[in-house]
């Protein structure tokens, strides 16, 4: 089955620790995205990547980092510089980056800082 997988489903972090969220897709999509969702709010874009070895900051990139070494994978690292990291993180991919290209989402990772 084609789709997007994210792991882990739940993640707990102590303050001051970096954590990495995994996102893998087998849809052969060029573009991948990371969003953050806070309770009662819409999604906000953290980073996106149009193609392998390229990525761009979104609206709320501070305290986050990404890499895109493989087409299928777009991991997100939440660093200790992110002051309020507790949130639900969603990864998405699309065939391209045109406005008409539908983004498809993974199941999400819920991160809680203890």
Residues contributing to the site for another protein (CB under 8 A): 31, 33, 40-43, 45, 48, 50, 56, 88, 90, 92, 94, 97-108, 110
Inter-CA distances, 62 with 12, 37, 72, 81, 106, Å: 20, 15, 24, 8, 22
* Comparison of 51 and 81: residue with beta carbon closer to another protein: 51
Tell me the closest approach of the beta carbon of residue 58 to another protein, in angstroms.
8
Using an 8 Å Cβ cutoff, are 21 and 76 in contact?
yes
**Which C-beta is closer to another protein: that of 73 or that of 88?**
88
Shortest approach of another protein to residue 30 CB, angstroms?
11
Distance between CA atoms of residues 23 and 16, nearest Å: 23
Least Å from the CB of residue 1 to another protein: 14
Using CA atoms, how far apart are residues 59 and 52, in angstroms rounded to an integer?
Answer: 21
């Amino acid at each position: 089955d084609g789709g997007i997988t994210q792991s882990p489903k739940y993640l707990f972090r102590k303050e001051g620790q970096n954590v990495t969220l995994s996102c893998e897709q087998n849809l052969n999509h060029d573009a991948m995205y990371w969003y953050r969702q806070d309770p009662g709010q819409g999604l906000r874009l953290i980073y996106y990547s149009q193609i392998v070895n390229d990525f761009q900051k979104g609206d709320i990139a501070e305290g986050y980092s990404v890499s895109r070494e493989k087409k299928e994978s777009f991991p997100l690292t939440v660093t200790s510089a992110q002051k309020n990291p507790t949130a639900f993180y969603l990864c998405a991919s699309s065939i391209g980056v045109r406005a008409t290209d539908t983004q498809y989402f993974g199941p999400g990772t819920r991160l809680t800082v203890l």
